[in-house]
Structures are given as structure tokens and as C-alpha cells.
Structure 1
Amino acid sequence: MGSVAAKSDRVVLGVLCMMTFSIFGPLIDAFAKLVPSEIPVGQIIAARFAVQGIMLLPMAAMFGWLHRPNNHELGLHIVRAALILLATGCFVAAIRVMPLADAIAIFFVEPFILTLLGGFLLGEAIGPRRIMACLVGFCGALLVIKPSFAAFGPVAMFPLGTAFCFAFYMVLTRRMAVAMHPVTLQAYTAIAAIGLAFPVLWFFDGSGSVALDPTFPERYGFLMLLGVGMSATIAHIFVSFALSLAPAATIAPFQYLEIVAATALGYWIFSDLPDALTFLGIAIIVGSGIYVFTRERRLSRLPTPPP
């Protein structure tokens, strides 16, 4: 019974970490949307990982969590960094022209993708009830902000690109987080992302490219870039802990709580007042997450049947 209780506690802690990520995640997007338009998307992404590396690498070194990655692990870090670079770039480009809540609503096909990938690539159990909970949560997300491709054109595809890249990023995080400390994982990912992003910015320096030609930010822009990096670091530390403690398919529905935080931030910062349909969608999202949480906790406490 002790091992069953310990397993349950790990799953519950993983869910709580995912819920914390879902609170800090929209802060990344809010800070990114507040970055002045003269600062290119590529510079925002590079600053996000530079701050993450500066924050986490000394911490990992101080506590003795660093190790020398082998070639296979190094390759996984590079792939993971490329995925999160693409995911971040697509989303930041989207929110430059779209309302934050609209972009996040389109992005919320991601937990459903993650649940399926957790089953197919990681061999995690995804029963019909869990799939239904993800579908119900996704329907709730659609009620919060109804995405309109007609309104925004091809840019509406960018959050979908973010969703697919981030889902694969989460699968790799789950696979790697069980083998190393989450702080180390995020520190190495930051180093890999910096190694990929900064040469691109150097190459495009002075090119006049709207997306990639870097500029020296004013004080306000610098503070917003710092906010992007700090909120991203905190959020992704928590998601790494979550994926080291619980299966990806279990915690995926709780990512829908991001839409709750995003709606609140949209109202507070950008004066985007939610309507009755929005609140109905939020209630459905929260309800689907609570259902998975309570059912997972009940099942994990059941004794394992004898062979």
C-alpha cells in the first residue's frame, strides 16, 4: 500500500506542477505581446533562452546537477531546443497581429495531440474516458474564443504550428525528465537554443529583416524581454517537474487551465472583457481537468490486483 500511496502522491504533485505551469505560461505570451514592435520576433526568442540559461546554469552547477551529455542525449537536447524555438517563434509572430486569447484558443489542440502522442510514442495508457475529457476540454476552449481563419488569414495557422511543435517538445521532455534533474534539463535546452538562435541573429544583423534583424532595446523593451525570459524559465521548470512525476497523458488536460489565466490576463492588461460564452467555456475546461484529476487520484490508490 505504501508504494501505491507514493505513486498517487507523485501523480498529484505532477498535476499541481502542471497547473502552476498553466498559470505562468500565459505570462510569457503577455510579456511577449507587450514587447515593442521594433524588436524582432527572433530577438524575443533569443532573449527568452538567454535569460533561462543565465538563471539555471549557475543553479545547476551550484547544486551539482550538471553532467556531460553523451552524443545521443546531446542530439535530443538540440531537437528539443529546435522544437521549442519553432513553437515560440510561431506563437510570438501570431500574437503580434492576433488577440492573445484568439491565438491561445487555436493553440489548444495541443493537449489533445499530447495525449495521443503520450499513448503512441511513450506507451502510456489513454483510456476512452481520458480522451473524452480532453475532447470536452477542447470544446470548452473553442467556446472561450472561436478561432476564425477568415478573420486572420494564414497567420491563424501559426498557433497550430505551435501546438504540434510543443506537443512533441512535451513528449521529449517526458522522456528526458525521468533521467535527469528538471533544472539541468532546462539549462541544457537553453544552451542548445542559444547555440541555434544567436548565429541566425548574427547573420541577419543589419539585413533589415523585420523578424530577425536585432536592435538594441530601450529600458521598457529590455524589461519586457526580461519578463519573457523569467516567466518562461519558471513555467518550463514546473512543466519539467510535472512530466518527471506523472504521465504526459494524465497531465495534458490540465494545460487547458492556461486559457483561464490567459483570459484573466487579457482582461487585466489588454481590456479584453470576457462574455457569457467565455465563462461557460472556462467552466467546461476547469470541469474536465477536475474530472481527470479526481479519477486519476482514485484509480492510483486502488490496490494492484495479484498476477
Structure 2
Amino acid sequence: MSSTSARPASSASEVTTGLALMFLSVMFSPLIDIFAKLAVVTIPSAEVTAGRFVVQALFMLPIVIWRQSFADFSWRQSLFHAIRGLIITVSMISFVTTLKYMAVADAIAIFFVEPIIVTILGGIFLKETIGWRRYTACGVGFFGAMLIIQPSFQEVGFIALLPVLSALCIAIFVLMTRVLSHREDPWAMQFQMGIWGLLFCTILLFIGEGSGSDLFDPVMPVGSAWFYLAGVGAMAAIAGIFGVYAYRAAPASTLAPLQYFEIVSATIFAWLVFGDFPNAVKWLGIMIIMASGFYILWRERRFASKPVSDTSEVTLAP
């Protein structure tokens, strides 16, 4: 997504276009997790993540070449990009592993504590002004997450905490992206993220070969597994492209609330494909997380010149 701090205010038609594109983005985004859940049955998490990076990078490459974004690469920031690539790799492997054992909607709902974590970390490390109301909303949001985690923890153990780890990694990724976003092209940043992520996945798969680990021991995909891997990467690329152009058309603070619709669309897709549907307690937790997130966004729009959750690069759920 492009930087919103320096561009002129969007017209009404641009905002409408941005909202439509963001809606498409959050509709496609859960399909990443649907394909990942299907793939991780027979393919280790790191290999699914590597497949996503490969397809996503191949989608980005012609765009980067066409836009001549290579000229915007900041090679002196390679260490910075490498750290971002490592963080996004840990986040994705954690989330894909979760999908093997948990329902898609539950995992995504827990992951959506990410904006709450961004708010807290932004106040600590970027010295964002965060009042007691938003901190209270963060606490309420975490309580909602616990309503989902607690029964899931009884079913799958510590696996239920992996979406929180994934959300923490994405929150750190978002803050690091904000530091760099005003100086580099968003397409170049996404392409470099994919290359570094693929490198780290390759290292993990090389080390894990023959270990028998369902996380890191690579296998040769067979049959429909190839389709699932391709689906993970293709849906990630499509959702990312829609997101990039959504944020070019409309302010992040306007579009951010639509991201929570991903929980709803994920629930619909998971019910259609796997027959999973949250129970009443989990729905309560989902509603609490969404309400706290909306409140935080509202406070940011009212009192902050730029929301702490605003970045210049698309950061969708893994």
C-alpha cells in the first residue's frame, strides 16, 4: 500500500473504489488460509509457506520490472529487509501450523488481536500517544481472544497460542514497515520480503530434511497438493494487489474497519469447505475482538493524525 501521509485527500469516487477493492481483498484473503489448511495435511508448514513466497514473488516480479521498481531497492537496507523477511516467515509458519489443528475462523479471529498489539507496541517503541481508553480497549480485545483461545487450548494445547505469536510477528513487521515505507516503493518492498522469506524457508527445509518433522521436513507434493500450494500463493498475490490499490485510492483509516470483515468471510468459507462453525462462546469472543478493534480505529481517526495501524504496505492475515 502506498504512503498516505503525503498524498492529497481522496475524492468520493476514489474512496468508493478503495472500499470496493478492499472488500475484494478481504474476500480473497481467507482463501489463502483455506488452501493452506488443505495443503498442510500432507505438506510441512515451512514448505507451504515457501510455496506462497514463490508464487507471490512470481506474481510481483513482472510488476516490479514494469514499474522499474528495482531502481527503488535500498540495498543498504538489506539487513532491515532480511529481518522483515524472517519475521514474516515465523508468522506464516506459525499460522499455517495452527490451521492444521484449528478451525480457520477461530485462528483468524485470534490473529486479529494484531491491531491491538500494534497499538501497544506503537505506544512503547514509536512513542505514539495512546490514551487510557485505547489501552482499555486493548485489554477488552485480549479478553475476547481468550474466550476463543481457552476452549481451543483444551482441544489442541499450546497450538492455540500460535495465532497470537503470528499476530505479534505481524505487529512488529508493521512497525518496521512504517520506518521504511516513506523511502521505498511498496511493490519493491513486497518483492524483497518474498525473496528473503523464501530464502529463510529454504534454509529451514534444508536443515529439516529427513528429520520427520511435520514443520520442516520437505516432501514432494502429489496430486491435488500442487493445486493447493498454487492456490495459497495465487490468493495471497491477488489479495495483496487488491489491497495495494485500495490503499492508493482511499485513506488507511477509512479502509481499516473493512479488514474485520475477513473474520466473517473466513467463517463462511470454512463452513462451506470444512463444515466448521464457531460456537456461541467463540462468537462472543469474535464480537468483542471486532468491537475493540473498531473502537481503537475510531479513536485513532478522531485524535491521531495517522493511525498507529497505518502502514504503506498491505498486511493481511497470513
Aligned counterparts of 1:102 and 1:274: Cα–Cα separation in 2:
7
2:44 aligned with 1:40, yes or no? yes
Report matched runs for 1:2-81 at 5 Å: 6-7=8-9, 16=19, 21-35=25-39, 37-67=41-71, 69-81=73-85
Q: Which residue of 1 aligns with 2:164?
A: 160
Task: Give the CA deviation at 1:175.
Answer: 2.5
2:109 aligned with 1:119, yes or no? no
**Cα distance change on mapping 1:199 and 1:279 into 2, 3 Å:** closer
> Aligned partner of 1:150: which letter?
Q
Task: With the length of structure 2 as denominator, give the TM-score of the two structures.
Answer: 0.76
Task: Give the CA deviation at 1:37.
Answer: 2.2
CA offsets, 1:207-252, max 9 Å, x none? 443322222212311111111112222344566677888679x977
Aligned residue among 190, 195, 201 for 1:186: 190
**Cα distance change on mapping 1:197 and 1:175 into 2, 3 Å:** same
Aligned counterparts of 1:66 and 1:215: Cα–Cα separation in 2:
34
Aligned counterparts of 1:130 and 1:257: Cα–Cα separation in 2:
21
Report matched runs for 1:87-126 at 5 Å: 87-126=91-130
Aligned counterparts of 1:144 and 1:20: Cα–Cα separation in 2:
27
- Worse overlay, 25-34 or 73-82: 25-34
> Aligned partner of 2:263: which letter?
I
Aligned counterparts of 2:62 and 2:53: Cα–Cα separation in 1:
14
> Aligned partner of 2:95: which letter?
F
Structure 2 stretches of 5 or more lacking a match? 306-318
**Cα distance change on mapping 1:216 and 1:281 into 2, 3 Å:** same
CA offsets, 1:278-304, max 9 Å, x none? 555555555555556666666689xxx
Percent identity reads: 40
Aligned residue among 224, 227, 231 for 2:231: 227
Aligned counterparts of 1:109 and 1:202: Cα–Cα separation in 2:
33
RMSD: 3.9
Task: With the length of structure 1 as denominator, give the TM-score of the two structures.
Answer: 0.78
Q: Which residue of 2 aligns with 1:264?
A: 268
Kindly tell me the number of residue pairs found equivalent between the two proteins: 298
Q: Is the 8 A contact 1:118 1:247 kept in 2?
A: no
**Cα distance change on mapping 1:146 and 1:266 into 2, 3 Å:** farther
Task: Give the CA deviation at 1:48.
Answer: 0.6
> SS of the residue aligned with 2:69?
coil
Q: Is the 8 A contact 1:182 1:237 kept in 2?
A: no
**Cα distance change on mapping 1:172 and 1:238 into 2, 3 Å:** farther
Q: Is the 8 A contact 2:40 2:48 kept in 1?
A: no
Q: Which residue of 2 aligns with 1:174?
A: 178
CA offsets, 1:73-92, max 9 Å, x none? 21111111100100011111
> SS of the residue aligned with 1:66?
helix
2:82 aligned with 1:83, yes or no? no
**Cα distance change on mapping 1:138 and 1:251 into 2, 3 Å:** farther
Structure 1 stretches of 5 or more lacking a match? 302-307
Aligned counterparts of 2:17 and 2:180: Cα–Cα separation in 1:
15
Q: Is the 8 A contact 2:40 2:96 kept in 1?
A: no
Aligned counterparts of 1:141 and 1:158: Cα–Cα separation in 2:
12
Task: Give the CA deviation at 1:44.
Answer: 0.4
> SS of the residue aligned with 1:104?
helix
- Worse overlay, 61-70 or 234-243: 234-243
